[in-house]
Amino acid sequence: MKNNFTPAEYLAMEEVADYKSEYYAGEIFAMTGGSADHSTVAVNLTSEMQRLLASRPCQYHFNASGRRRSGRLSSLP
């Protein structure tokens, strides 16, 4: 089986996959699904960030549906 993919191949596979994965330096890694604990942490973090920033001229946005890119890593939550 092929073990080195282009970003375009990764995106094409991700569109039809039954699971989410991450792409790093040509390799694709399956990700586990979300959990109740993860969701609780995300909600608590978002609530606390909004509370801390309420009196400041900045905003906190939580986006769990966009693609993240950092160097050779690309993931689709």
> What is the distance between the alpha carbons of residues 28 and 73, in angstroms, rounded to a whole number?
10
- Tell me the CB-side half-sphere exposure of residue 71, using CA atoms within 13 A: 2
Tokens found for residue 55: 């009196």
* pLDDT, tens digit only, all 77 positions of the chain: 678 999 899 989 988 988 888 888 899 988 877 788 988 998 899 899 889 888 988 877 766 555 555 566 665 55
CA distances from 41 to 17, 44, 46 (A): 27, 5, 9
Tokens found for residue 3: 């073990």
Q: What is the pLDDT, as a whole number, of residue 6?
A: 92
Q: What share of the chain is helix, strand, coil (3-state, %, to 5)?
A: 35, 20, 45
